[in-house]
A and B are shown apart, each in its own frame.
Chain A
């Protein structure tokens, strides 16, 4: 109740502006603001908002626990802060420092209010206030880290999206140009994305164009074979396209045996074969094995 923390309550209400000023002074002094790429007005606005909400919560709350329902608005504000500042590119340490400075500002103001000395009562209040701000700092940090995880996951998906450009070139026909090197981790990404696309688009034919792969050696060939086999297990016919004359020569010299695969020199020829497969022609068992 208010009576329990008279000094803190006074600080958050009558002296709120002084507290805000002290907080911002600490932020600017310690140079963290410069690193904040957010701008002073933004930081000022956020700090002011937070203190307003905090004053409201402390007035109503019996405890100083940031998880209590009286602090709902405070927590909401912290989460929004975390969301917005994550996008601003802030580091966890910067967020933590920001709130540590609030703690320092509170202590400074409480000391000033007590004329430089604190009796036992005041001391207790300082400890409680400390605990409260620490709770706020931790909550904000947690929210911030959660938001970062979400961003990282989203970026991971975007990278996968860009690096494995599966295209639907016709009903039930997918084409995937493989560009660059094909190592085992990329192969796994390719397989995942390709198979997921086969399922989603109900593809019957997949054309793997390797015109953009600089060098086909035995290792790369193995990865290709695995990918094609995985696609076939899901019922899609796979056609390799974009094999250059030199590549064909190299592959045979290396003794790479692709086995019973369909391959064509150009994407155009591969498409032609795809359409043939899609038409209701009698199949040979070799066509579907």
Chain B
């Protein structure tokens, strides 16, 4: 894998920042999923920011990849926000009819973190059911 293809996963305060890069294929996606899930297990972040600002071309495959990542993140008890989508990419996704309506989004990482905070606040208030 070259450095352009490697998607870094780094800690950002209480959250995790995953920057999706390069030509994601089945193999690199599996590798990324395992890195993300193990990192979540290790640091138990409040949330995960999925940075797609580096993705200039998308297709239904990427849509599925994002959906699956978000599902895994939620199963592990964290929240996920997709940040930094480029206008052209947003248009492509809606034109292709790729459903992303169950995924939270933000313009940039800072806003994304604010959303995660507020989602965390809300979750903190929920009383556990007996």
How distant is the Cα of A232 from the Cα of B98 in the complex, in angstroms?
A: 13
Contact with B along A249-289 (1 / 0, CB 8 A): 00000000001100000000000000000001111110011
Is A113 positioned at the interface, with any CB of B under 8 Å from its CB?
A: no
* Bound CA span A285–B108, Å: 18
* Count of CB-CB pairs between chains A and B under 8 Å: 83
C-alpha spacing A202/B114, complex, angstroms: 14
CB distance from A171 to the nearest CB of B (A): 13
Does B129 sit at the interface, judged by CB under 8 A? no
Minimum distance in angstroms from A278 CB to a CB of chain B: 11
A259-B101 in contact given A191-B91, A196-B87 (Cβ < 8 Å): yes
Number of interface residues of A (CB under 8 A): 30
Q: Is the beta-carbon distance between B102 and A230 smaller than 8 angstroms?
A: no
A128 sits at the interface (CB 8 A): no
B42 at the interface (CB under 8 A from A): no
| Contact present for B107 and A260 (CB under 8 Å) | no
- Pick out which of these stretches binds chain A: B12-20, B22-30, B32-40, B118-126: B118-126
The reply to whether B87 and A282 contact each other, CB–CB distance below 8 Å, is: no
Say if the beta carbon of B111 comes within 8 Å of chain A: yes
Q: Is the CB of B111 within 8 A of A204?
A: yes
Name A's B-contacting residues (CB within 8 A). Answer: 188, 191-192, 195-196, 198-199, 202-204, 226-227, 229-236, 259-260, 280-285, 288-289
The residues of B with any CB-CB pair to A shorter than 8 Å are 79, 81-83, 85, 87, 89-91, 93-95, 100-108, 111-112, 115, 118-119, 121-122, 125
